[in-house]
Amino acid sequence: MSFKVLNLNLKILVVDDVELFRLAMVDNLKTIGFRNFLTAENGKKALTLLQDEAAIQEPVELILSDIKMPEMDGINLLRQVRAHPVKSISKVPFIITSAVTEQGEVLDAIKYGVNDYIIKPVSADVLKLKLATFFNLWQKMVS
């Protein structure tokens, strides 16, 4: 898969309460060639980062978020993002990265507008394939 239409400087927000998983995701993204990351350990901190970045005209362009987290989980973060009045926040592509595959949570993610779902653990190869497929489809949808 090629990233011809994908900007590898894309600003990506990785949200996971487990530091090891955040670091592994960033390492996988670096292996693929991405260079611009923010991280947060829960949805509450992620939402603050999204708002701060939008306020300085440097919006996040992709969210990779776990579901199970303290303070604000991934589903509630997704709901808050999709309902946000700032378009650069409400329209950001949102991909769940979780070991959780409970049908109810997957259906909630779909209900609130998740763009994709990746099951952990995630290797760089699987992530590259998923992102290449997602962004090629995304590019066709917004063109």
- At residue 1, the pLDDT reads 39
Residue range 15-26: mean pLDDT, rounded = 96
Closest C-alpha to 17, from 102, 97, 105: 97
- At residue 3, the pLDDT reads 47
Is residue 119 classed as helix, strand or coil in its secondary structure? strand
- List domains and CATH numbers for the chain: 11-142 (3.40.50.2300)
| Dist CA 58 CA 94 (whole Å) | 17
- At residue 105, the pLDDT reads 85
**E-only strand ranges, 9-99:** 11-15, 36-40, 62-65, 94-98
> How confident is the model over 46-76, as pLDDT tens digits?
999 999 999 999 999 999 999 999 999 999 9
Supply the pTM of this predicted model: 0.90
- At residue 98, the pLDDT reads 86
